[in-house]
């Protein structure tokens, strides 16, 4: 445009030709020149101008433009594109423009004259100029458009990048927020599940809901504040103002849940209340949905159980290997339960091991151990006796111990006045009712002294047969009062009582009785006691001795004082405030009252209603009766009482324990019953004495046994009989008591006697009709007695009858073999010379070779000169042959002897 203006200036005729082509290089040819082109805004450009020769037109051969190219001072710039060169006239076709000064000068100096352009040329040049201008303008516009387009694109790209960065940041923030919420929600859910698992069914659900919800609302607000780009769950139809394009593009994560706390837009469609889901999820925790208050505990439990089952169902079953306790006997079913295996699998395992057993069948512990190992578990063998362990382990604290009465046992030789003394002490005459004049029942009594102090007495009889019971009595006894008759002195059973007392570590008080008698000599008694290392106070020792008379009730108070003094030294104490335990002193089957046990409480207090186990029986205490026959509610330490309510008759000497439950008592009683039964079976199978004794008896073939089964009216009698019969045993023949018990003779007793080949002794009891019938059928001998020494007499005779007659050997003579004859159908016959005594036909013979017995038998034949003879005397020859024996040699000696039977003695 500027150029157009310049061109139109009348004072400045155009002499240059221009080109709009950018990048045109200046011409280097000799004829080229450079001109500066001016543009708007002061921009300039240097262009090269090439001078061309004038164009010759047809019909104008002398055209000056073509004839004087060098004279033309102005040259049009080279046109790289078209290469067209223009020469412009000063005034165009209509206006005669003066030539530029330089051109004028050149023209003047050179003499070249520019010719005037023709109209055609002018027109052509003008057209070319217009074209050039138009092209330049178009190029410039295109460049401007291109630049604008690029700028727009750059701007768009920059904006896109910014948006992308923003989106990434927003996404990151949203993720962080969600993770945080999820973590908190999971923690809360876990906490709630744990509480639900441990809480009682009545656990307040509202509390559980509180634990879930308070954290949920702030958690929901936090991501919204920190991450604006995070998707906000809104109800359908709610305004979405503020939602970014990213948020819109993002796929929905989960169905939106209506938040009751969020403001509902007017007209927003309320969703129909959904069926309440009990699933605790992150969404609910985030949204703070609080519907736990209405959820029941049962529902929670069901859900937990369901989840647990699902877990277990999805997981592969992991086998749990257990430590399996194996008692001495166990049924297949019980073993399966302890291993948590199916009973059928255990039976199969047993079958593979070659053991055929049903699930109710008991198997021995070795087999059970193999099964347990086979099934991959760890066996643990325990003795059944472990069930008893806890019974004896408890120890009372010292502060709980209170003083208790002493327990005194009266011991002494038979008829030295034990019962009379006790009678005198408690003013009760028991001796008059005793069968056979012998005390056969162990009684326990408590005496209250005028001072209020109490002494408990155990009355043990003095007969030798009762030694075993007396020994047991010493175990529960604090003090032994040894009764020695002043007129009789120390006797064998006195010595035995001393030995038992010492063995039990029980202090002794000597009661020198029958001081009223004429021949009473207490000093002799004291002196005799020294032989048994009993040194009384009068002789400088520490054993108290009191001179008393039971019948005259003399010095009984002194005896009681001595007992109390001794008990003070012993500091006898027990804890009365605990479950009772103690010892059964006596037990019997009372026809009217059932099993009655006299017990001595040692610790604690026994009460009516207590469950106790005594030996192999158990029961609930129905009634307690004291020694005077009065019913009492409880019995403290050292108090003897009769117990009613046991399911059987325990053994005298059994310990009793009050148990926490019937089940526990039954368990212990069952174990003991099994143990006793096994022990009895073992005894019935021949277990008696030491192993050495048994082997010796078998080897010698001399041991004889008389199996006996004893049934008595009371335990004391049964024990006494068993002891008495056992004492009858000698080296030659022994009595073996396979069972001793209380009660009538039953079918079970007959069965046991038959299995053992035993004799049944009924002491003050009879067999029931059925038992009598079976005994008759099976030829079992039942003998009834009411006096112990009658039993011992009879048994002694039976034992003698059992003995084989002994045989006495008598030497007859020797014969030496001089020759051996081989006789067909007879065998070897020895030609002998009787060298000593004589030989008899039918006598026993031994064959001695080098003084060694190589055969013992009988003679088959005894001949002299082919004649059978009865006897051959010393110095004569004879022929002898052995029964079933031929190995005889010359030089052997035949010893001949007689054997005679001898009447046996015990
Ligand atoms: N003179 C006299 N006789 C007595 C005295 N004490 C006991 N007797 C008599 O001695 C005899 C035996 O008395 P028991 O009390 O039965 O003697 P025990 O030691 O209990 O006898 P067993 O029960 O058989 O062991 C009876 O006849 C009593 O009368 C006493 O102090 N003086």
Higher pLDDT, 398 or 262: 398
Return the pLDDT at 260.
43
Contact 791, 721 (CB under 8 A): yes
- Confirm whether residue 542 is marked as ligand binding: no
CA–CA gap between residue 839 and residue 862 (Å, rounded)? 9
DSSP string, 648-687: S-PPTT-EEEEES-HHHHHHHHHHHHHHHHHHHHHHHTT-
114-118, 155-159, 773-777, 896-900, range with the lowest pLDDT: 114-118
pLDDT tens digit string along 743-786? 888 877 787 777 667 788 999 888 888 888 888 877 788 888 88
Q: Which of 205-209, 607-611, 672-676 has the lowest mean pLDDT?
A: 205-209
| 514 marked as part of a ligand binding site | yes
Q: What is the DSSP letter of 879?
A: E
Residues 6+ apart with CB under 8 A from 710: 718, 721, 722, 725, 737, 739, 740, 741, 760, 761, 763
Q: Is the pLDDT of residue 544 over 90?
A: yes
Give the chain's mean pLDDT.
Answer: 73
d(CA 421, CA 746): 39
Q: What is the ipTM of this complex?
A: 0.98
Q: What is the pLDDT of residue 475?
A: 66
pLDDT of residue 133: 92
pLDDT at 429 over 80: no
CA distance 806 to 900: 8
Q: Using CA atoms, how far apart are residues 448 and 451, in angstroms rounded to an integer?
A: 8
- The annotation status of 463 as a binding-site residue, yes or no, is yes
Residue 541 has pLDDT above 50, yes or no: yes
The C-alpha atoms of residue 353 and residue 581 are separated, in whole angstroms, by 46
Confidence of residue 57 (pLDDT cuts 50, 70, 90): low
Confirm whether residue 377 is marked as ligand binding: no
Check residue 238 and give its pLDDT: 40
Tokens at residue 114, please?
């520019």
CA of 415 relative to ligand 1 center, distance in Å: 5
Count Cβ atoms below 10 Å from residue 549 Cβ, excluding itself: 22
For residue 845, the tally of other CB atoms under 10 A from its CB is 24
Whole-angstrom distance, CA of residue 684 vs CA of residue 698: 17
Strands 827-837 and 782-785: unpaired
Q: Residue 185 C-alpha to ligand 1 middle, in angstroms? A: 93
Q: Hey, which of 396-400, 525-529, 537-541 has the most confident mean pLDDT?
A: 525-529
> Residue 390: what pLDDT?
62
pLDDT at 145: 93
Binding residue per annotation — 417? yes
Which long-range contacts link 281-285 to residues 24+ away (Cβ below 8 Å)?
281/185, 282/181, 282/182, 282/185, 282/186, 283/254, 283/257, 284/185, 284/212, 284/216, 284/257, 285/181, 285/184, 285/185, 285/188, 285/189, 285/212, 285/215, 285/216, 285/219
Residue nearest to atom 3 of ligand 1 (CA): 514
The most confident of the ranges 153-157, 383-387, 753-757 is 153-157
For ligand 1, mutation pick of 420, 482, 556 (most atoms within 8 Å of CB): 420
Top-ranked range on mean pLDDT: pick from 223-227, 325-329, 462-466, 858-862: 858-862
Per-residue confidence (pLDDT) for residue 239, from 0 to 100: 41
Residues with CB under 6 A from ligand 1: 412, 414-420, 431, 438-439, 461-463, 513-514, 516-517, 549-551
Q: How far apart are CA 372 and CA 323, in angstroms?
A: 9
Residue 18 has pLDDT above 70, yes or no: no
**Could you tell me the distance, in angstroms and rounded to a whole number, from the CA of residue 549 to the centre of ligand 1?**
10
Question: For the stretch 424-433, what's the b/e string if a residue is b when 16 or more beta carbons lie within 10 angstroms of its beta carbon?
Answer: bbbeeebbee
Q: Which of 65, 103, 75 is nearest to 19 (CA)?
A: 75
Return the pLDDT at 484.
94
DSSP string, 793-819: HHHHHHHHHHSPPEEEEEEEEEEEEEE
- Look at residue 45 and tell me whether its pLDDT is greater than 90: no
What pLDDT was estimated at residue 626? 82
Q: State the Cα–Cα distance between residues 315 and 549, nearest whole angstrom.
A: 88
Cα end-to-end distance, the chain, whole Å: 167
Q: Which domains does the chain have, with CATH numbers?
A: 2-117 (no CATH), 405-571 (3.40.50.300), 581-684 (2.40.30.10), 690-802 (3.40.50.10050), 806-902 (2.40.30.10)
User: DSSP class of residue 466?
Assistant: G
- Of all atoms in ligand 1, which is nearest to the CA of residue 462? 25
Helix (H) or strand (E) holding 34: strand 32-38
Checking if the pLDDT of 513 tops 90, the result is yes
Q: Where are the alpha helices (DSSP H) in 757-864?
A: 769-778, 788-802
- Cβ-contact 14, 92 below 8 angstroms: no
Q: Residue 226: pLDDT above 50?
A: no
Highest mean pLDDT among 156-165, 212-221, 251-260, 416-425: 156-165
Q: What is residue 254's predicted lDDT score, i.e. its pLDDT? A: 46
How far apart CA 789 and CA 720 sit, in angstroms, is 11
Q: What is the pLDDT of residues 212-225, one digit of tens each?
A: 444 444 444 334 33
47: Cβ–Cβ under 8 A, 6 or more apart, which residues? 18, 19, 24, 26, 34, 35, 36, 37, 77
pLDDT digits (tens, 9 = 90+) for 549-608: 999 988 988 999 999 999 999 999 899 998 898 888 888 888 777 888 888 898 899 999
- The answer to whether the predicted template modeling score (pTM) of the entire model surpasses 0.90 is no
* CA count, 13 A, side-chain hemisphere, 143: 7
């Amino acid at each position: 445009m500027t150029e157009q203006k310049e061109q139109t200036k009348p004072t400045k005729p155009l002499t240059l030709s221009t080109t709009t082509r950018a990048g045109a290089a200046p011409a280097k040819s000799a004829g080229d020149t450079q001109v500066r082109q001016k543009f708007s805004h002061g921009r300039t450009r240097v262009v090269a101008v090439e001078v061309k020769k004038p164009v010759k037109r047809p019909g104008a051969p002398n055209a000056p433009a073509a004839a004087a190219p060098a004279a033309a001072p102005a040259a049009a710039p080279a046109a790289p594109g078209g290469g067209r060169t223009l020469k412009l006239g000063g005034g165009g076709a209509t206006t005669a423009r003066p030539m530029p000064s330089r051109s004028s000068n050149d023209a003047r100096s050179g003499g070249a004259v520019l010719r005037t352009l023709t109209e055609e040329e002018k027109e052509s040049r003008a057209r070319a100029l217009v074209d050039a201008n138009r092209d330049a303008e178009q190029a410039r516009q295109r460049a401007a458009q291109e630049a604008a387009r690029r700028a727009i694109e750059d701007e768009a790209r920059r904006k896109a990048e910014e948006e992308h960065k923003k989106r990434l940041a927003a996404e990151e923030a949203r993720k962080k927020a969600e993770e945080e919420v999820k973590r908190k929600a999971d923690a809360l859910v876990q906490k709630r599940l744990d509480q639900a698992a441990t809480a009682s069914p009545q656990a307040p659900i509202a509390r559980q809901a509180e634990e879930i919800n308070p954290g949920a609302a702030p958690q929901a607000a936090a991501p919204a504040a920190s991450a604006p780009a995070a998707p906000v769950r809104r109800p359908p139809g709610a305004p979405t103002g503020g939602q970014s394009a990213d948020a819109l593009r993002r796929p929905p994560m989960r169905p939106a849940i209506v938040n009751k706390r969020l403001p509902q837009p007017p007209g927003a469609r309320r969703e129909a209340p959904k069926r309440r889901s009990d699933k605790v999820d992150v969404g609910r925790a985030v949204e703070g949905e609080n519907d736990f208050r209405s959820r029941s505990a049962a529902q929670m439990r069901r859900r937990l159980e369901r989840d647990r089952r699902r877990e277990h169902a999805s997981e592969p079953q992991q086998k749990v290997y257990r430590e399996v306790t194996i008692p001495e006997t166990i049924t297949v079913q019980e073993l399966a339960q302890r291993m948590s295996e199916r009973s059928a699998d255990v039976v199969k395992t047993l079958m593979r091991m070659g053991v055929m057993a049903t699930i109710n069948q008991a198997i021995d512990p070795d087999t059970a151990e193999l099964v347990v190992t086979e099934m991959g578990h760890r066996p643990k063998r325990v003795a059944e006796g472990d069930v008893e362990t806890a019974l004896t382990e408890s120890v009372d604290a010292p502060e709980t111990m209170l003083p208790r009465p002493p327990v005194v046992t009266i011991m002494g030789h038979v008829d030295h006045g034990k019962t009379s003394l006790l009678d005198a002490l408690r003013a009760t005459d028991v001796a008059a009712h005793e069968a056979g004049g012998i005390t056969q029942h162990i009684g326990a009594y408590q005496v209250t002294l005028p001072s209020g102090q109490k002494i408990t007495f155990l009355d043990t009889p003095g007969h030798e047969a009762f030694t075993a019971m007396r020994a047991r009595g010493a175990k529960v006894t604090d003090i032994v009062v040894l009764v020695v008759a002043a007129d009789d002195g120390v006797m064998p059973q006195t010595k035995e009582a001393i030995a038992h007392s010492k063995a039990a570590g029980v202090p002794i008080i000597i009661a020198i009785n029958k001081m009223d008698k004429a021949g009473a000599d207490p000093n002799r008694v004291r002196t005799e006691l020294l032989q048994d290392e009993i040194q009384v106070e009068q002789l400088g020792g520490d054993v108290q001795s009191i001179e008393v008379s039971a019948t005259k009730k003399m010095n009984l108070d002194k005896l009681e004082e001595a007992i109390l003094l001794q008990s003070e030294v012993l500091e006898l104490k027990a804890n009365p405030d605990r479950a009772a335990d103690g010892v059964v002193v006596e037990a019997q089957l009372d026809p009217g009252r059932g099993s009655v046990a006299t017990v001595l409480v040692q610790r604690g207090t026994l009460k009516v209603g207590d469950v106790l186990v005594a030996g192999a029986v158990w029961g609930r205490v129905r009634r307690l009766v004291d020694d005077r026959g009065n019913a009492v509610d409880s019995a403290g330490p050292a108090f003897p009482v009769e117990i009613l309510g046991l399911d059987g008759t325990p053994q005298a000497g059994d310990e009793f324990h009050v148990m926490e439950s019937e089940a526990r008592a039954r368990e212990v009683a069952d174990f003991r019953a099994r143990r006793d039964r096994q022990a009895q079976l073992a005894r019935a199978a021949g277990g008696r004495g030491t192993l050495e004794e048994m082997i010796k008896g078998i080897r010698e073939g001399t041991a004889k046994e008389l199996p006996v089964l004893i049934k008595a009216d009371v335990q004391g009698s049964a024990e006494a009989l068993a002891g008495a019969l056992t004492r009858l045993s000698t080296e030659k023949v022994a009595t073996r008591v396979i069972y001793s018990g209380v009660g009538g003779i039953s079918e079970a007793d007959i069965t046991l006697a038959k299995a053992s080949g035993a004799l049944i002794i009924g002491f003050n009891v009879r067999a029931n009709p059925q038992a009598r019938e079976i005994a008759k059928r099976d030829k079992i001998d039942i003998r009834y007695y009411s006096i112990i020494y009658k039993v011992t007499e009879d048994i002694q005779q039976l034992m003698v009858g059992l003995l084989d007659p002994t045989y006495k050997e008598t030497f007859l003579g020797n014969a030496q073999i001089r020759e051996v004859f081989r006789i067909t159908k007879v065998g070897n016959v020895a030609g002998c010379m009787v060298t000593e005594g004589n030989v008899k036909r039918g006598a026993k013979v031994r064959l001695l070779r080098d003084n060694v017995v190589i055969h013992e038998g009988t003679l088959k034949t005894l001949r002299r000169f082919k004649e059978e003879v009865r006897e051959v005397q010393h110095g004569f020859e004879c022929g002898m042959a052995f029964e079933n024996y031929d190995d005889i040699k010359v030089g052997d000696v035949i010893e001949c002897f007689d054997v005679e039977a001898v009447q046996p003695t015990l």
